Amino acid sequence: MDKPFAITLDPGSSLANRTGSWRTFRPVYVDRLPPCNAACPAGENIQGWLFHAEAGDYEKAWLTLVENNPLPAIMGRVCYHPCEGACNRGQLDESVGINAVERFLGDEANRRGWQFAPPLVSSSGKRVLIVGAGPAGLSCAYHLRRLGHQPVIMEAARHAGGMMRYGIPQYRLPRAVLDAEIARLIDFGIDIITSAKVEDVESTMREGGFSACFLGVGAHLAKRAYIPAGDAARILDALTLLHDVEAGEPPLLGRRVIVYGGGNTALDVARTAKRLGAEESIIVYRRTREKMPAHASEVEEALQEGVAFKWLATIKAADEGEVMIEKMRLDEKGFPQPTGELERLPADAVVLALGQESDLSLLDNVKDIEIINGVIQVDDNKMTGRAGIFAGGDVIGGEKTVTAAIGHGKRAARAIDAWLSGRTYAPPKKPEIATFERLNTWYYSDAPKTVRPTLDLVRRQSTFDEVVGGLTEDNALYEARRCLSCGNCFECDNCYGVCPDNAVIKLGPGQRFRFNYDYCKGCGLCAAECPCGAIVMVAEEI
């Protein structure tokens, strides 16, 4: 061997020394469930679509969003965004404005004419009857179509949309937005037959050759309370009023309107009354502001528009031009109790907004469906006692929101898909929640939330123009980038950078990373310095 003087060995690389054998813990990449996703009743992958929005790829963001929810422009306006309440960034400064970005994406899609990705599986040809074109029915139809089935929606009203059209007023949800998102669903291959009330589900299914059915009939019958009223008293119900306004035939209300109830419907009616010209619009509610089921932001907006509130009061009687109210007090359990103290209020009209129930006459001939207190009973997969008939939305009770209805429709569609092929749907196991404690928040830049602009007050009191505005592109991008990407790698390269042993392999944009266990010593630095908690240290079997 020809070696220089005093040299006995070939020079070698330290790569021969596999330091991975030192390890007692190994780092592993994980995807956790961000709290926003976990809180979304429609099961949106919020972190997932924000990831694309952050990079300015709005179409990809929108496409990711609509994998779970086909109505983002509507959602971005009417959803009460429980996601934001759960958002980890709320513990840092303020929650991410998820709902505002969602609306921005929905509006962009409408503006630019983006379309859904084609259905996942080629057509199964199986026809599914959907009763009702509210959010529950639309969502179920969309997801069935995605899975390759042929949904047909039968809708009693003249137009599709359910409460999104005949309940939620235009100043919160402009009809052009609603129409655009419904039109996209029709383009996607969903048949919607309007002015087609289903009178008897079993016969409609039989005659139409439907293999399964989803009931999304909502709750449209106004609940009434007994109020002794003189002949000349003008008493209306909230849903009829909102329906008539939508149909272009607003009722005459007079100068003073009293709205009875404490839910969102009461607020919408009171705000609508203002817009119809009432000088005074007063909400009478038997409990306190804190106990009101209506959403705080809507109470705030109503107050700004001059709606007045009478807390802790019930209506005892109504007569021409006035009502008699009784003051209440809350007992130890928080229930309102009468005090016997009475007061007269001038009122030209009283609108009852005391909740709704479902018209279930279409089920009269269906056996095996259990109905308790007017609510259809379903299992986890939204199936009723009658195999093959599913239900969701307001008709199954619980959380009565557009978002929940969309979630029900999705879950039912997956269950129907399984049922059609003789299986029972089992949802994939959810990963652990990416809690705030798992984050290394040092790495996130400080940034307060962007505020959505609101319409000026004069226009809000006289017109049905939309009250809350959208974000500009700059603002939407800024807001999206406030996301911490909880529990899911966002390719910050920290693990790749901080490893003293170069034991992290970078796979390239969108491909994330891999560990090189030949050299990883298991120090745990990568896991400690991952901002979003996407790495765990797992004990090695030794």
Ligand X SMILES: Cc1cc2nc3c(=O)[nH]c(=O)nc-3n(C[C@H](O)[C@H](O)[C@H](O)COP(=O)(O)OP(=O)(O)OC[C@H]3O[C@@H](n4cnc5c(N)ncnc54)[C@H](O)[C@@H]3O)c2cc1C
Which residues of this protein are in contact with ligand SF4, per CB under 6 A?
27, 29, 34-36, 46-47, 50, 87-89, 96, 98, 483-486, 489-495, 499, 501, 503-504, 513, 515, 520-526, 530-532, 534-535
String of contacts with another protein for each residue 512-541, x by CB under 8 A: ----x-xx-xxxxx-xxx-x-----x----
Residue 422 interacts, among another protein, ligand SF4, ligand X, none and using kind-specific CB cut-offs from 5 to 8 Å, with none
22: Cα separation from own chain's centroid: 48
Which residue in 347, 352, 362, 489 binds ligand X (CB under 6 A)?
A: 362
Q: Closer to another protein by CB, 248 or 500: give it.
A: 500
Residue 329 interacts, among another protein, ligand X, ligand SF4, none and using kind-specific CB cut-offs from 5 to 8 Å, with none
CB 310 within 8 A of CB 325: yes
Distances (CA, A) of 148 to 117, 411, 443: 13, 16, 44
String of contacts with ligand X for each residue 450-489, x by CB under 6 A: ----------------------------------------
Residue 154 interacts, among ligand X, another protein, ligand SF4, none and using kind-specific CB cut-offs from 5 to 8 Å, with ligand X
Eight-class DSSP state of 200: -
Which residues between 265 and 304 bind another protein (CB under 8 A)? Answer: none
Token pair, residue 482, equals 């406030």
Distance in angstroms (rounded) separating the CA atoms of residues 542 and 20: 13
Which residue in 97, 137, 261, 487 binds ligand X (CB under 6 A)?
A: 137
CA dihedral sign, ordered 124, 127, 133, 137 = negative
Eight-class DSSP state of 229: B
Give every CB contact of residue 18 below 8 A, 6+ residues apart in sequence.
518, 519
Q: Decide if residue 41 touches ligand X (CB under 6 A).
A: no
Q: Decide if residue 91 touches another protein (CB under 8 A).
A: no
Q: Closer to another protein by CB, 27 or 218: give it.
A: 27
Distances (CA, A) of 87 to 80, 83, 115, 434, 456: 14, 6, 29, 10, 29
Q: Which amino acid is located at 159 in the chain? A: H
Which residues between 148 and 207 bind ligand X (CB under 6 A)? Answer: 154-157, 162-164, 167-168, 197-198
Output the CA angle 380-381-384, nearest 5 degrees. 90
Q: Closer to another protein by CB, 56 or 228: give it.
A: 56
Residue 133 interacts, among ligand X, another protein, ligand SF4, none and using kind-specific CB cut-offs from 5 to 8 Å, with ligand X
Query: DSSP assignment of 463-509, as one string?
Result: --S-SB----HHHHHHHHTT---TTS-----HHHHH-TT--EEE--T
Query: DSSP assignment of 293-315, as one string?
Result: SS-HHHHHHHHHTT-EEE-SEEE
Q: State the distance between the two ends of the chain, measured CA to CA, in whole angstroms.
A: 42
Distance in angstroms (rounded) separating the CA atoms of residues 400 and 41: 11
Residue 474 interacts, among another protein, ligand SF4, ligand X, none and using kind-specific CB cut-offs from 5 to 8 Å, with another protein
Which residue in 2, 4, 6, 9 binds another protein (CB under 8 A)?
A: 9
Distance in angstroms (rounded) separating the CA atoms of residues 40 and 84: 9
Q: Decide if residue 509 touches another protein (CB under 8 A).
A: yes
CB 336 within 8 A of CB 330: yes
If we measure between CA atoms, which residue out of 119, 125, 103, 349 comes closest to residue 241?
A: 349
Q: Decide if residue 209 touches another protein (CB under 8 A).
A: no
Distance in angstroms (rounded) separating the CA atoms of residues 16 and 401: 62
Which residues between 111 and 130 bind another protein (CB under 8 A)? Answer: none
Q: How far is the CB of 219 from another protein (least distance, A)?
A: 39
Please name the residue that has the structure tokens 């404005």: 97
Q: Decide if residue 393 touches ligand X (CB under 6 A).
A: yes
CB 461 within 8 A of CB 306: yes
Give me the residues that bind another protein (CB under 8 A), please: 9-19, 22, 54-55, 442-445, 447, 450-451, 453, 472, 474-475, 477-478, 481-483, 490-494, 496-503, 506, 508-509, 516, 518-519, 521-525, 527-529, 531, 537
Positions in the binding site for ligand X (CB under 6 A): 78-80, 131-137, 154-157, 162-164, 167-168, 197-198, 216-218, 242, 264-265, 268, 359, 362, 393-395, 400-403, 405
